[in-house]
Amino acid sequence: MTQTILHIDASARLQNSTTRDLSDRIVRALGANRIIRRDLATPLPLITETWVEANFTPAENRDAVQRDVLSLSDALVDELQRADTIVIGLPIYNFSVPAAFKAWLDLIARAGLTFKYTENGPVGLLQGKRAVLAVASGGTAVGSELDFATGYARHVLGFVGITEVDIIAADQMAVNADAALANAYQAIETLAA
């Protein structure tokens, strides 16, 4: 049973956003005791050389400036750690993920916090969690060779240990919006059942 949902919206559109509508519906359908909200329409900073240096400095050796530089990233990781289900409203922009979502991924993919390196390769540290992606596109078919968004999102989430990833798609909205939404709504009902 879902206890805590981290609800992330990556759409730049605050009004009339299909992914925001779908992610809201998913959150309601899953139910939870607690919902943590993260809206990426308020842009996150991009990682910088200062951030990278702070990140690779052992925590016990970081100075006040380095701790401050990493404070937002630490908060984002904490949100992920507290949630057992992550619901992400993820539009496909120009065949891929929005820049805001990429910035979020860069800030949460942290060696020693969300993944670790072993002699057998990297191991994700956020295991036992589930993600549901609410995806919408104008013309790109989800799962097609032109969809660089869902495979990438699934891969990076898996890299940090979130391997159970469901996709609710309202794709090719420019072709047939009514059919795309009907399929997505049906998938949400099935997901909640």
Q: What is the pLDDT along the chain (193 residues), one digit of tens a residue?
A: 679 999 999 999 999 999 999 999 999 999 989 999 999 999 899 999 999 999 999 999 999 999 999 999 999 999 999 999 999 999 999 999 999 999 999 999 999 999 999 999 999 999 999 999 999 999 999 999 999 999 999 999 999 999 999 999 999 999 999 999 999 999 999 998 8
Residue span of the structural domain in which 18 resides: 4-192
Q: What is the CATH number of the domain that holds 86?
A: 3.40.50.360
pLDDT at 1: 63
| β pairing state of 121-124 and 85-91 | unpaired
Which pLDDT score is estimated for 32?
Answer: 87
CA dihedral 74, 78, 79, 85 (to 10 degrees): 140
Instruction: Report pLDDT for 192.
Output: 84
Number of domains in the chain: 1
- The four Cα atoms 128, 36, 74, 91 give a dihedral, to 10 degrees, of 80
Give CA–CA dist 62/81, Å, rounded.
Answer: 22
Whole-number pLDDT of residue 72:
98
Kindly state the greatest CA–CA separation across the chain.
56
pTM over 0.75: yes
Cα separations (Å) of 28 from 3, 5, 128, 171?
13, 10, 21, 21
